[in-house]
Amino acid sequence: MTMTMTEQMLADEGCPAMTAKDYRSDVKPVWCPGCGDHGVLLALTKTLAELQLAPEKVSVVSGIGCSSRIPAYLNTYGFHGVHGRSLALATGLKVSRPDQTVLVAGGDGDGFSIGGNHFLHACRRNVDLTYIVMDNQLYGMTKGQASPTSAPDWEKGKLTPGGTGINPFHPLVVALASGANFIARVSGTNANGAVPILKEAIEHPGFSLVHVLSPCITYNREQLDWKKMVRPAPVEATNDPGRAARRLMTDDNLNLGVLYKGDRAPYQPDLRSRGVSVADLEAPFQV
């Protein structure tokens, strides 16, 4: 495969390496000061610098929400899609452009409510994507409604003053049961701690879920306590889905690190050998 201009420059002797700053666009984040998503942005730029990926070889796809604004703040390709459909977009992109490193980002509402069905099938298909979910256990952008990961007794939800009374969705258990190939959790308040895990997730073939505890200081200030409550997972990552299932079923949402690392082969259809080109696929949509 021919090198892109940046790759060629990086390969040339004496050319300075890409730094985290090189992956930031000049758009200033609109997130509230103290929002965990700032930490994710920083961790992501540091990870891309560690991997020395050429920005034009990386695509970041998102849905809708505060967290889904992240592609605008990066100097890579980006697609700010519609609510809950980031994984469908990213799947299409990766199967037609396997040379791209495709990252998907968004919130718990985007990924587990409106996008819930896509989440199940993205895990099942196991296309080589890294899905970063910034979980603040609420809908931030629409001003603090309960989400599928809200605690049942969280009484400050704008539409649920008495709490939802419903047990939260456990994205990691669902991901494992649906076939995800890599499952990890990081904290949005510890960017440096997130870097090696994001790196491993990007490098691991197949569908990788990185669950981020990303506090929303505006609609649930108590989430700032997560910083004191999180801990490294007490056991090493396993590649045994049965053992991972037992661990995840008792996971209290506070264990950080790689929790499951599977070895399923990613789904990557060879469109060319089937005689299907991107131009063929696009043809019916030409206006």
Ligand X SMILES: Cc1ncc(C[n+]2csc(CCOP(=O)(O)OP(=O)(O)O)c2C)c(N)n1
The one among 71, 81, 109, 206 contacting ligand X by CB under 6 A: 109
Q: Is 110 in the site for ligand X (CB under 6 A)?
A: yes
Q: List the beta bridge partners of residue 135.
A: 213
The dihedral through the CA atoms of 124, 130, 136, 142 has a sign that is negative
At 275, which amino acid appears?
A: G
CA dist., res. 141 & res. 149, Å (int): 16
71: CB partners within 8 A, 6+ apart: 60, 61, 62, 78, 79, 80, 105
Residue in 54, 58, 62, 108 binding ligand X, rule: CB under 6 A: 108
Q: Is there binding between residue 239 and ligand X (CB under 6 A)?
A: no
Token pair recorded at residue 73? 């703040």
**CA 121 to CA 102: how far, in whole Å?**
17
Rank residues 110 and 128 by Cβ distance to ligand X and give the closer one. Answer: 110
Which lies closer to ligand X via its Cβ, residue 134 or residue 259? Answer: 134
Whose Cβ is closer to ligand X: residue 18's or residue 88's?
88
**Between 134 and 195, whose beta carbon lies closer to ligand X?**
134
Nearer to ligand X, 159 or 229 (CB): 159
- Give the C-alpha separation, 51 to 53, whole Å: 5
Output Rg (C-alpha) for the chain, integer angstroms: 19
By rule CB under 6 A, what string of x and - marks binding of each residue 52-71 to ligand X? Answer: ------------xxxx----
Nearer to ligand X, 54 or 133 (CB): 133
Mask 76-105, x = binds ligand X (CB under 6 A)?
Answer: -------x----------------------
Smallest gap, in angstroms, from Cβ of residue 184 to ligand X? 19
Span 130-159, contacts to ligand X by CB under 6 A? 134, 136, 139-142, 147
Q: Are 214 and 188 in contact (CB under 8 A)?
A: yes
> Which residues lie across from 97 on neighbouring strands?
none
* Residues near ligand X (CB under 6 A): 64-67, 83, 106-110, 134, 136, 139-142, 147
